Amino acid sequence: MKNLKKIGLFGGSFNPIHIGHLIVANFFVCEFGLDYCFFEPAFISPFKLHQQDLVSEQHRLKMISLAIKGNPKFKIDTYEIEKAGISYSFETILHFKAKFPNSSIFFLIGSDQIDKFTQWKNWKIILENSFLVVAKRVFKPINKNFVPLEYEEKIYFLDNPIIGISSTQIREFITRDIPIDYLVPKEVKKYINDNELYK
């Protein structure tokens, strides 16, 4: 594990993880030849400080584990969960940089996040210590000039299919008793039902 050349980081609340996450992660691994894609569930996202329907980190970790089982390129990292508090991406990237000093780090975000990227805390540290990979999330042109020119060589755009589902939508379906079959892996659906999550 110490001699990894390319590491992918995929952060988020994963509340719950769904097939869109898995499809994008698979394209991420394949397009960049990653040794591993680490799923990094946030303890508390700085963009969702007042979210009311965030289930516990234990539930989210278990759902991720069930979802990625069987793909040897997918791993879970618990740095943000163990650190607790607000999860800032620059801290996670510095943690990985210290842990894997000889590896190139590729940090995945959605195209719906890029217009506010330069408002992220210490965003320059992110670009100084990793490559930023932007996955397509919405059916509209992507603003490819969202960072100063000096950083443009650190930005890549993932050629992934757009999956028009979200965790928010899945939670809403559950509260309205609408089936979530095929939106999440069947093991995740069973776990949600068995633990009566998002009711």
CB of 2 closer than 8 Å to CB of 39: no
Give this prediction's pTM: 0.94
CATH architecture of the domain formed by 6-163? 3-Layer(aba) Sandwich (3.40)
Cβ contacts of 177 within 8 Å, gap of 6 or more: none
> How far, in Å, CA of 47 to CA of 118, rounded?
14
Q: What is the DSSP letter of 30?
A: H
pLDDT tens per residue, range 105-114: 999 999 999 9
Report domain extents, the chain.
6-163
pLDDT tens per residue, range 112-159: 999 999 999 999 999 999 999 999 988 778 888 899 999 999 999 999
